Amino acid sequence: MEPSSTPFSSRYADLQALWSQWQPRPEENDQAIALKDFDHSAKPFSKGQGKAEDKALVEALAQELDGLQNLFYADRRYKLLVILQGTDTSGKDGTIRGVFGGMSPLGLRSVGWKAPTEQEKAHDYLWRIHQQVPGSGEIVLFNRSHYEDVLVPVVNEWITPEQHLQRLAHINDFERMLSETGTIVLKFLLHIGKDTQRQRLQERLDDPAKHWKFDASDMRARSQWDAYQQAYGQLLGATHKPWAPWTIVPADSKTHRNLMIATLVREVMSNLELRYPPGDPDLQDIQVE
C-alpha cells in the first residue's frame, strides 16, 4: 500500500488498476469514447462468491461510509459532490438508497434534477446547479445533473454543435472552480444495456408500485438510444478531467453497481485524512452530573 497523491486514486495498486479500467482512457481525452467498449454486464468489483456475499459487502461498506460521513461533517474542510448520471432505469434512485441510505441525514442531501422551470430557463443553464452544490462538511448527491444540458438538447438538436462544445467547456470550467474552492467532484456514469432498460421499463408498466415512475417521454428517449449513447461518449471524453474524473459503472447488476460505487466513495473519503476538530480546552474538566 502506498499513499494516494489525489483523492481520485486508491492506496492499493490492484484496486487502482481495476478502477482505471473503468475510466475514459487518457489518450481519449477530449475525444468521444465508445460506450460499447465497456461491458455493461460486467462485475469487476464482485468478489466472485455470489450475490449474497456482494450484498453483505455493500452493507458493510454502507456502515463504514456512515462513520466517514460523520467525520466528514465534523471536519468541515471539504465538500463532496457525487454525480449519478445515466439513462432512464440505470439505477440512480437505487444507488442513493443502497449506498447512501444508511447515512445520517445530517450534512447529507440529494437533489433530483428535472426539466428546468421557467424561472430557471430565464438564467444561464448552470445557475440552478450552482445553488445546490455542497457547503462545507456537506455531501450532496445529484440524481441526474448539469450533464442533462449536453444530452437532451444535443440529441434533440435544440442547440448547435458550436453551442454543444461551448457548454462542455463551460462545465469543465465550472467543475474546476468547484474543485479549486474545496469541492470534491466525483462522477459516476451508470452504464446499462438496451435490453436491461427494456426489462426495467416493462417492470414499471407491470408493477402498480412502480407504474408512477413511468413517463411517456421514456419511450421517446428509448427510441433515441443510439443518439444518447453517442452524446454520452462525447461528454465522457470531453469532461473526464483530473479535477473531476468520470467512472463508468457497469450497472446491469444492481448489487454490483452499489458495490462498485460504495467501494470508490470509501476510497475517496479515506484519502482525505479526515480528523475531528480539537475540543474546547475550557470544557475538558467538566463533569456532567
Residue 167 located in a structural domain: yes
pLDDT of residue 188: 98
The DSSP code sequence of 164-219 is HHHHHHHHHHHHHHHHHTTEEEEEEEEE--HHHHHHHHHHHHH-TTTGGG--HHHH
The pLDDT value recorded for residue 5 is: 55
Could you tell me if residue 8 is inside a domain?
Answer: no
97: its cell numbers? 438508497
pLDDT digits (tens, 9 = 90+) for 95-117: 999 999 999 888 999 999 999 99
Confidence of residue 1 (pLDDT cuts 50, 70, 90): very low
Whether residue 286 lies inside any domain: the answer is no
Q: What is the DSSP letter of 244?
A: B
Over the stretch 180-206, which tens digit does the pLDDT of each residue have? Answer: 999 999 999 999 999 999 999 999 888
**Locate cell 454502507: which residue?**
62
Q: Which amino acid is at 269?
A: M
The pTM is what? 0.94
57, pLDDT greater than 90: yes
Report the CATH number at residue 207: 3.40.50.300
The dihedral built from the CA positions of residue 6, 10, 14 and 19, taken in this order, carries a sign that is negative
As a residue count, the chain comes to 289
- Note down the domain range covering 17: 13-272
pLDDT band at 29 (very low <50, low <70, confident <90, very high): low
| Residue 289 resides in a domain | no
**Tens-digit pLDDT profile for residues 139-183:** 999 999 999 999 999 999 999 999 999 999 999 999 999 999 999
Count structural domains, the chain.
1
283 is a domain residue: no
In a domain, 28, yes or no: yes
Q: What is the mean pLDDT of residues 57-76?
A: 96
Please tell me the predicted confidence (pLDDT) of residue 25. 82
